[in-house]
Each structure stands twice: as structure tokens, then as C-alpha cells.
Amino acid sequence: MKELSVKKINFIICVIMGLSLFGCGKKPVSEWSDQEIEEWFTSSSWKNELSMQPDSSINIRLFTEQNILNASAWEAAYNFLKETDLDNIQPGRYDLDKSGTFVTVSDYITKDADATFFEAHRKYVDIQYVPVGKEHIGITSLNDIDLVKMEYDEEKDIMFFFKADETKRLADKRNFLVFFPSDGHMPCLKVEKNEVVRKVVIKIPYIE
């Protein structure tokens, strides 16, 4: 308990420092300059505490805003990544805190491109991490969708669609990716061959 309290104190200090940078405490995070956003992102203590690092594809403005607006939920997510034996934890769902943040752990075989499609969510931010194996994840915007496979399902918070325009990112134990409601993403893509991977997805409520 003592160790957990220290970690919580460090996270709170990090948020307070972020709010005080460049006078940011006097204005909402949505009004921070690009410099202020970059300063918070690069100086935050969680980056040094995690064994994996944020992928360069992440929208750091949205990332910073959501961290500030929903600090306890993101703290719970970071603590899970730091403290859990992700290689050996049982697959399934794990609820993290009262905010509705939860984790799903699953093992599956990566797929060929013609067997996959994009997905997007409106209520949750996805942190996706692959501690075992590797996969490609396609990333695209929600503009000019080629074909909707399944309209948005509010109960499941998901829609599926096809789109030719995409950027592929490699996901493995070295990095994690973050997807916001504006990000379409296509997980499960094979790299060189179809292989078994373990996927950790942390679902954090999105704050408008």
C-alpha cells in the first residue's frame, strides 16, 4: 500500500506540474500551445517508469488532454502496465477503477490483410499493447470511408469499415499505440507470417 501511495503521489505531482507549466493552470488544456503540450508529454514521469514507450503515431495533443481531464483513469492504466506480468496473466477482462476503465487480454493468430477491416470507437480511448509476438496495425482517419461493414453499435461502442488509405505501424513489446474516437485502426495484421500474439487493450472513457 505504501508503494502504491507513493506512485499515486508522483502521478498527482506530474499532473500538477503539467498544469503549472507556462501558466497552463490559468487556462484549460484545450487551449495549451503546441509547446506546452510537448513539454508536458516529454517531461511526464510515466514515460520513464514504463518498459514500453508510446508509439510516434500517437496524437500527443489528444493524449495530453485526456491524461489531464481523466487523470485517475490513465494512472490506473499505467499502473496496470507497470505492475502486471503481462506475459503470463490469464486472458480475460479486468476492471481497473470506478471510472469504467477496463482491460481485455487475448491471444490470437494474426491475419492476412484481406481478412481484416478497420474499427473505430466513440466512447473509449484504446491503449493497445502486444507483449508477446508482433503485428501490424493499420491507422487511418474517419474521412472518406470506402465502405461501411457495420454501422456504429452504441452498446458495443464499435463500427467496422473498409478504407484503402492507411499507415501501418509495428506493434510489439517495445511500444504501445493509442487510438482516439477520430482514429480508425485495423489490428491483427500479420508481419512476415501468421503468428500467435498476445494483445492487451486498455479501454479508457473518452472525455469530451
Lowest mean pLDDT among 7-11, 37-41, 55-59, 128-132: 7-11
Which alpha helices (DSSP H) does the chain contain, by range?
A: 2-20, 34-43, 46-49, 60-69, 71-83
Per-residue pLDDT, 8: 57
Selection from 123, 133, 83 nearest residue 100 by Cα? 123
pLDDT confidence of residue 111:
98
Those residues with Cβ within 8 angstroms of residue 135's Cβ, 6 or more apart along the chain or in another chain: 110, 170, 171, 172, 187, 188, 189, 190, 191, 197, 199
Can you tell me the mean pLDDT for 194-201? 99
Q: What is the pLDDT of residues 106-118, one digit of tens each?
A: 999 999 999 999 9
Q: Residue 184 belongs to what domain range?
A: 2-205
Average pLDDT, the chain: 91
Residue 70 reports pLDDT greater than 80: yes
CATH number for 150: 2.60.120.370
The C-alpha atoms of residue 18 and residue 68 are separated, in whole angstroms, by: 8
Domain count, the chain: 1
pLDDT at 12: 54
**pLDDT at res. 22:** 45
pLDDT for residue 82 is more than 80:
yes
| Global confidence as pTM | 0.86
Taking CA atoms, 50 is separated from 46, 115, 140, in Å, by: 6, 33, 27
Q: Is 27 helix (H, G, I), strand (E, B) or coil?
A: coil
Query: What pLDDT, on the 0 to 100 scale, is given for residue 27?
Result: 85
- Contact in structure between 100 and 205 (CB atoms under 8 Å): yes
